[in-house]
C-alpha cells in the first residue's frame, strides 16, 4: 500500500542559474514534493517518527534552495529528492522545481522540472 504526502508551493530565494546575474541577484524558486509513504503505522499510533514530518521537510527544502548555488534546476531537484529520501519513511518522491522568474525573452507562466526518484 502506498499513501502520498504532498507539500506544495514551498518558496525560497536561491542563486541558481547559468548566468552571472542569477548568481548575484538570486530569484524565487517554488518546490512541490510528493512523498510516497505507508501511513498505516503512523495513522494507527499517531507516532510522528513513523512518517515524514512535513514541517521539518519544508525547512530542509528551503535550506536546499538557499545554499550552494547550482547551474541547473535539474541539479536542485536531485538535491531535494535526496533530502526527501533521507527520511526513513519516504519510499519514493516526485519533486517539481519551478523557476517562475527564469531569464526567458518571451512571455511565459512558469518553467519547471519534475523528477521521480526512489530508494536504490
Per-residue model confidence as pLDDT tens digits over 18-29 = 999 999 999 999
Number of domains in the chain: 1
* pTM over 0.85, yes/no: yes
Q: What's residue 49's pLDDT?
A: 84
99 is catalytic: yes
Question: What CATH number does residue 26 fall under?
Answer: 3.30.1130.10
The C-alpha cell 547550482 sits at: 70
- Active-site hit among 39, 96, 99, 120: 99
Q: Which residue range(s) make up the domain with 11?
A: 3-118
Instruction: Kindly state the average pLDDT of the residues 57-77.
Output: 98
**Average pLDDT rounded to a whole number, residues 37-57:** 91
C-alpha angle 62-65-66 in degrees, rounded to nearest 5? 85
Amino acid at each position: 500500500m502506498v499513501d502520498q504526502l504532498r507539500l506544495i508551493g514551498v518558496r525560497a530565494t536561491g542563486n541558481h542559474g547559468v548566468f552571472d546575474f542569477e548568481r548575484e541577484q538570486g530569484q524565487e524558486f517554488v518546490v512541490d514534493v510528493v512523498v510516497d509513504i505507508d501511513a498505516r503505522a503512523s495513522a494507527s499510533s499517531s507516532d510522528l517518527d513513523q512518517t515524514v514530518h512535513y514541517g521539518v521537510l519544508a525547512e530542509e527544502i528551503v535550506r536546499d534552495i538557499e545554499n550552494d548555488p547550482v547551474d541547473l534546476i535539474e541539479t536542485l531537484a536531485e538535491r531535494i529528492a535526496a533530502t526527501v529520501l533521507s527520511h526513513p519513511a519516504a519510499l519514493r518522491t516526485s519533486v517539481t522545481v519551478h523557476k517562475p522568474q527564469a531569464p526567458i525573452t518571451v512571455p511565459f507562466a512558469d518553467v519547471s522540472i519534475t523528477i521521480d526518484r526512489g530508494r536504490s
